[in-house]
Amino acid sequence: MNHTSEVSPDAVLDLMEAFRRSQALFTAVNLRIFERLKESPKSLQELASQALLPIVPLEQLLTACQALGLVSRSNGTYQNTLLTSTYLTESSPSNFLGYIRFSDMAVYRLWSHLTDAVREGSNRWDQVFGGRHNFFENVYADPSSLREFIGGMHGLGVITSPNLVSAFDLSRFSHFVDLGGATGHLAIAACRAWPQLKATVYDLAPVCAIAEEHIAQAGLRDSVKTWVGDFFIDPWPEADLFALGRILHDWNEERIHFLLKKCFERLPQRGGLLICEKLLNEGKDGPVSAALQSLNMLVITEGRERTATEYKALLQAAGFGQVEAKKTGKYLDVILAVKD
């Protein structure tokens, strides 16, 4: 029976062509189109002259960007939309540019070998780049790529962290330690939301140096400090509230158990652990962002995304008694585990 008249192919066509949208975005960022338009609206000819690009293909790219809502055109000139000004220009504190460039340079290439990742159950670093086959070895090997990647994560953190630290009542805690805290966005948001808190950003030395810049910009040097270390091998600072934000999904079960057990052992009674990750639905039927992020972890790291029930089982195996999960409806969800 022919069902083509009953079922639209639009969803399949959209999936098949989705990479075209990301490549249009990556190309516009790489050619600094949005940076040039940030300075002032420009005609096609002005932009082509400034960017040293041929007019016809540039117009094709701008047409795509306009259709995607990234630029607008009025009276023969192009300008950035509010969306682009907020997330795609270097001067915006919420920009995603570092993560976009990382996605273009690395993630897109790794995803092109998803079939092999599923067949072999391992990430694709060695297949794509050779030599170093660990995500962290690759990113941390080059200071400029590290700063760009961490900067891209900062843009996401600025948006999500205030919701995460407000999801539970943290008023009884006094010292918040964010393990692998990157730029300090979660610690900064926590101290702003809960003034009684002092916070420490725990990360490797190059990352702590970047975090100190953001802490200073936030005016929170008295409340937020940094602590250099590798949380798998080095000592941890004292805390009554630890946080693991987008950390556990990077690792296998053995490493996760190590981190959760160490959190439990280091906490005092009634101490807490805040976990910030994308949560899969209990039926593992979505949401789409979490399901695709789980595949992202497959091609990039050794981890995956999990349901709240799966995290609860891991936390209880490490000793935690009370575990509560909340879906925020935003980019990340949050779990609070308490040591009884």
Report the DSSP beta bridge partners of residue 322.
338
**φ, ψ at 235 (rounded to 5°):** -60, 155
Polymer length in residues for the chain:
340
Instruction: For residue 175, indicate whether it is catalytic.
Output: no
CB-hemisphere CA count at 13 Å for 328?
21
Among candidate residues 154, 185, 214, 249, the one labeled active-site is 249
Alpha helix segments (H runs only) across 243-303: 253-266, 288-300
Report DSSP letters for 135-204, one per residue.
Answer: HHHHHHTSHHHHHHHHHHHHHHHHHHHHHHHTSS--TT--EEEEET-TTSHHHHHHHHH-TT-EEEEEE-
Using alpha carbons only, give the angle 7, 8, 9 rounded to the nearest 5 degrees: 115
Tokens 């990556």 locate to 26
Contact (Cβ atoms closer than 8 angstroms) between residue 204 and residue 149: no
Contact 306, 280 (CB under 8 A): yes
| H or E element in which residue 77 lies | strand 77-80
Backbone φ and ψ for 140, nearest 5 degrees, come out as -80, -10
Query: Which residues share a beta bridge with 240?
Result: none
Instruction: List, in sequence order, every residue forming a beta bridge with 334; answer none if it has no partner.
Output: 276, 326
Would you call 115 exposed, middle or buried from its count of C-beta atoms within 10 A (0-12, 13-18, 19+)?
Answer: exposed
Name the token pair of 101: 């460039």
Q: Helices H, strands E: what count in the chain? A: 16, 12
Q: SS3 string of 24-35?
A: HHHHHHHCCHHH
State whether residue 302 is helix, strand or coil.
coil
Active site residue ranges: 249
